[in-house]
Amino acid sequence: MHIADVERGNLGATGIVGGNIPVATGAALAQKMQGTDRVVLCFFGEGAANGGNFHESLNLAGLWRLPVVYIVENNLYAMSVPIESAAAKLDIADRACAYAMGGEVVDGMNVLAVREAVQRAVDKARRGEGPTLIECKTYRWYGHSRSDPRKYRAKEEEAAWKSRDPIPVFADWLVDKGVCTQDEVEQIQANAERAIDIASDFALSSAFPSPASSSALFMPHPGGQRMIVRTNAGCGRGAARVHQEPAECLSVRRFRKPRQRRCDVIRTCSLWVKT
Ligand SMILES: Cc1ncc(C[n+]2csc(CCOP(=O)(O)OP(=O)(O)O)c2C)c(N)n1
Ligand SMILES: [Mg+2]
C-alpha cells in the first residue's frame, strides 16, 4: 500500500485516508502552471470520498479546470463499514456535478471498460477541459488487513464477486478473441509470479539501511529511533543485534506471531535502538 516511485511519477500512497487527493490536485495544478501535457491519475476508496479532503479538492480542480482524473474504487466497504451505512447516495460519481466536472460509473471488474473510461477522461484533460470523476464498482477479496475476519459480509457475496475476477475473465476474453493463446496467458502468469518472487527475495535478503543513511524506516524517539524489523534471524533484541550492530536496543515494543511465507519464517517486531 505505502509505495512511491517519484522518478516515475508515482507520488505515493498515504496512511491518511483521502490524504492523496489534495496532493494529486496540487500536482495537477503544477502541470497546468508549467504547461505540460501530463495528466494526474488519483486513486482512492469510496470511504475516502466521504472526507472533507475529497470535496475541497474536487471543488478547486473543477474551478481551475485541472488536468486530473479522480478514480474512486468503490468496493462497497470502508474497512468494515458498508457504503449503505455511510453515504446517502450510493453512486459516488453523482457528486461530480456539484463541482462542474464529468462523472461516470464504470464496471470496475471489466478491464477494457475501465481503460476506455480513463482514456476518455485523460484525452479530455489534455484538451484543457478539466477533471473527471470515475467510479469503478469493484470488490476487495480479503479483509482490510490480516486481522479482519470479514464477519460484516456474507461468504455468498464474496463468492459472487470472485466469480467475476477481472484477471481470469480478461484472460478468457483474450483467448476467445484470438488475441493470444492459452499457453501465452499461462506464460504471462508465470512471468508475473517469477517477477514477484525475485522482488520479494531481493527485499527479504537485502540488508537494512542504517539510521544514518535512511529517514524512511526510522522514526525519531526520545533516546533513539524506532525501527521496524522483518527478520528470519530471531526477534526482539536478537534482531537488533543482527541488523543494527553495534546499536544498542533500548526496548522491544511488540512482535507478531511468526508467519510462514514460502520457505522463510518471517517475524515482524518494532523496537527502539540507540543511535
Ligand atoms: C483520516 C483517517 N481516518 C481514518 C483512518 C483509518 N482507516 C484506514 S482505512 C479506512 C477505511 C477507508 O475506506 P476506503 O477508502 O473505502 O478504503 P478500503 O477500506 O476499501 O480499502 C479507515 C477509516 C485513516 N487511516 N485515516
Ligand atoms: Mg472501500
| CATH number of residue 90's parent domain | 3.40.50.970
Judge if pTM exceeds 0.95: no
In this predicted structure, what is the pLDDT of residue 227? 52
Domains in the chain: how many in total?
A: 3
Contacting residues for 125 by C-beta, under 8 A, at least 6 apart: 39, 66, 67, 68, 69, 131, 132
In this predicted structure, what is the pLDDT of residue 218? 46
pLDDT tens digit string along 37-91?
999 999 999 999 999 999 999 999 999 999 999 999 999 999 999 999 999 999 9
Q: Between 90 and 268, where is the model more confident? A: 90
Label residue 205 by pLDDT band (50, 70, 90).
confident
183 and 62 belong to one structural domain: no
Which of 56, 73, 79 has most ligand 1 atoms within 8 Å of CB, for mutation?
79
Percentage with pLDDT > 90 across the chain: 67
Residue 211 lies inside a defined structural domain of this protein: no
H-type helices in the chain, by residue range? 20-34, 52-64, 111-126, 155-162, 166-176, 182-205, 237-244
From the list 180, 199, 98, 90, the residue with the least C-alpha distance to 135 is 90
200 and 261 belong to one structural domain: no
How far apart are the CA of 80 and the centre of ligand 1, in A?
A: 10
Q: Could you say which ligand is closest to the alpha carbon of residue 74?
A: 2
d(CA 56, CA 10): 22
Catalytic positions are: 140, 144, 152
Residues with CB under 6 A from ligand 1: 15-17, 44-48, 75, 77-79, 140, 144
177 and 199 belong to one structural domain: yes
In this predicted structure, what is the pLDDT of residue 256? 46
Q: Is 274's pLDDT higher than 60?
A: no
127 and 33 belong to one structural domain: yes
* Domain stops at, among 134, 164, 194: 164
How far apart are the CA of 74 and the centre of ligand 2, in A?
A: 6
Residue 213 lies inside a defined structural domain of this protein: no
In this predicted structure, what is the pLDDT of residue 145? 85
Check: CB of residue 103 under 8 Å from CB of residue 94: yes
Map grid coordinates 525475485 to a residue.
Answer: 198
59 and 115 belong to one structural domain: yes
Q: Which of ligand 1's atoms lies nearest the C-alpha of 19?
A: 1
57 and 90 belong to one structural domain: yes
150 and 108 belong to one structural domain: yes
230 and 183 belong to one structural domain: no
Average pLDDT score, the chain = 83
Q: CA distances (Å), 29 to each of 4, 8, 18, 265, in order?
A: 20, 18, 18, 46
Average pLDDT over residues 262-270: 42
79 and 10 belong to one structural domain: yes
94 and 179 belong to one structural domain: no
Show the domain range for 187: 173-205
Where is average pLDDT lowest: 33-42, 52-61, 199-208, 261-270?
261-270
Residue 98 lies inside a defined structural domain of this protein: yes
Q: Which of ligand 1's atoms lies nearest the C-alpha of 144?
A: 19
Contacting residues for 23 by C-beta, under 8 A, at least 6 apart: 11, 14
Residue 20 lies inside a defined structural domain of this protein: yes
Which of 1, 14, 16, 17 has most ligand 1 atoms within 8 Å of CB, for mutation?
17
Residue 1 lies inside a defined structural domain of this protein: no
In this predicted structure, what is the pLDDT of residue 174? 97
In this predicted structure, what is the pLDDT of residue 85? 97
Q: Is 260's pLDDT higher than 70?
A: no
Average pLDDT over residues 100-124: 98
Residue 127 lies inside a defined structural domain of this protein: yes
254 and 188 belong to one structural domain: no
45 and 137 belong to one structural domain: yes
Q: Which of ligand 1's atoms lies nearest the C-alpha of 44?
A: 15
How far apart are the CA of 244 and the centre of ligand 1, in A?
A: 33
How far apart are the CA of 8 and the centre of ligand 2, in A?
A: 26
pLDDT tens digit string along 123-159?
999 999 999 999 999 999 999 888 899 999 999 999 9
